Amino acid sequence: MAALDLTRRTIAVVPGTGEIGSRLAFQYAKAGLSVVVGSRDAAKAQKIAAQISKETQSSSVKGLTNAEAAASGDIIIWNPAGPLKDREELLKSLASHLVNKIIVDVTNALYFFGESEWGQISSTLLNRDSLGVPARWTTAFKATFAHFLREDLPDANNPHTTFVAGDDPEAVATTIALVEIIPGFEGANAGPQENSRIVELLGPRWMIELDKVNAGGRLSMYWKLGV
């Protein structure tokens, strides 16, 4: 497959002011992409966008409200925090701006449920069902700690793997391209959207517990596919 040209797409990180969101926005701006940082507070988004612009010397970073960011983005990086109810309300409020767009879900929902429910649901499936309009959902960076996206970028010769699940082939290919434009990361096709239930089992909650036992809580673990 020919390399995808992302330079004509606008990447909206909604919201984009948290640890994961701001680091992804930084990496995409550094890669020369057009980036929009969303927030409930436009001034906060503008502050983060200005900082990213200065650090990356990019003139293609904007800070907008979440609604404005969702409307202007061709591809949405979905990155809300807080209770599930608040996430669902935010998503529904943006529905008219998200019809048929690629939405890359980088969130996890497992910590809201008891262990008996792990593997039965995922934030991606919850979001898909809550949105109420057609969209092309994928997964990415669900098992990636924030510091790997900036301060501790992986070695390009020993890349971290992030698993991309989705039903739309173009959306999956685009998401893998968005993963691999960041130095030190490789994308792996994880199959259909239903597999997001499995992908989230590989995410931070389980990794944090394992890390505490084996690495003293330094949160340095990641996934890598072997060959």
Q: What is the pLDDT of residues 16-51, one digit of tens each?
A: 999 999 999 999 999 999 999 999 999 999 999 999
pLDDT for 194 equals 96
Q: What is the pLDDT of residues 160-172, one digit of tens each?
A: 999 999 999 999 9
> Model's pTM, two decimal places?
0.91
pLDDT for 1 equals 43
Please compute the mean of the pLDDT values over residues 117-121 and round it to a whole number.
77
Question: Are the C-beta atoms of residues 41 and 15 closer than 8 Å to each other?
Answer: no
Q: pLDDT band at 215, cuts 50/70/90?
A: low
User: Which ranges of 41-182 does DSSP label H, i.e. alpha helix?
Assistant: 42-56, 66-72, 84-93, 123-131, 169-180
Q: pLDDT band at 66, cuts 50/70/90?
A: very high
Give every strand in the sheet of 34-39, ordered side by side.
61-65, 34-39, 10-14, 75-78, 102-105, 136-139
Rounded to 5 degrees, φ, ψ at 86 are -65, -40
Question: Are the C-beta atoms of residues 18 and 79 closer than 8 Å to each other?
Answer: yes
